[in-house]
Amino acid sequence: MKDASTAFLDLVFLTAGISIGLFNFTYFMEFLTLFGKDTALPKHMVLISNVISLVLIGLGAIGASFHLGHKLRAWKAIKRFHTSWLSREAVFSGAYGFTLLIFALLRFFDHTGFWYHFFGIITFILWWLSAFSTAMIYASNRFVLEWNTSISVLYYLNMYLMFGSSAFLALTYFYRKEFVGTYIFLTFLFLALGLAFRLAFNI
């Protein structure tokens, strides 16, 4: 059985994973409109997605703080950015949450021009950096041989995409039904890849 510490990390990973995975597909559809694609999402869909992502990344941050022995010294961990993947995750996740908030506000006030896509792209990059840093926390753990492999990085990045496609699938059912089939396929694709990586771990 997993110990309480590992289970707690998994819970934090789940909330953050759904958050950044959901934003990934939400902005990807918006980004495609720059190339003339008919993938623009209704305002309410974008805002609901952003609110869910903000709440979940906030819960993930709060949960992570409870895992610290001395919460008031949390800022010191950020100073280890150049040596610690945990510090990098904290910085990138915090930056992701901040730019996501700006992105959501721009959509709320119907500013969908340059700055909307500027902050969308920046947030998109930050979520990848945050996700990679989280995956590296596991992959660089030499005390758990199962995690200490490059497969861990692929596994966790794939999990983010699986969470995101699943959550986005639920939204498309209510707002853009024509994309339901695509996201059902993507969800099962990422699920199949996750099972393949799980088998690779066992081997």
Domain with residues 4-202, CATH architecture: Up-down Bundle (1.20)
Q: Count CB atoms within 10 A of the CB of residue 57.
A: 25
Give the dihedral of Cα atoms 107, 160, 55, 97; nearest 10 deg. Answer: -60
Confirm if 123 and 95 have CB atoms less than 8 A apart.
no
pLDDT number for residue 1:
43
**Mean of pLDDT values over 166-192:** 95
- Asked which of 26-35, 36-45, 54-63 is least confident by mean pLDDT, the reply is 54-63
| pLDDT, averaged across the chain | 86
**Mean of pLDDT values over 106-122:** 97
Q: Which residues, including other chains, have CB under 8 Å from residue 182's CB and lie 6 or more apart?
A: none
pLDDT number for residue 10:
57
Tokens of 174: 């209510």
pLDDT number for residue 23:
95
Tokens of 2: 């997993």
Closest CA to 133 of 52, 46, 41, 20: 20
Round to whole Å and give the CA distance between 136 and 62: 21
Q: What is the pLDDT of residues 83-107, one digit of tens each?
A: 888 888 888 988 999 999 999 999 9
Domain ranges of the chain: 4-202
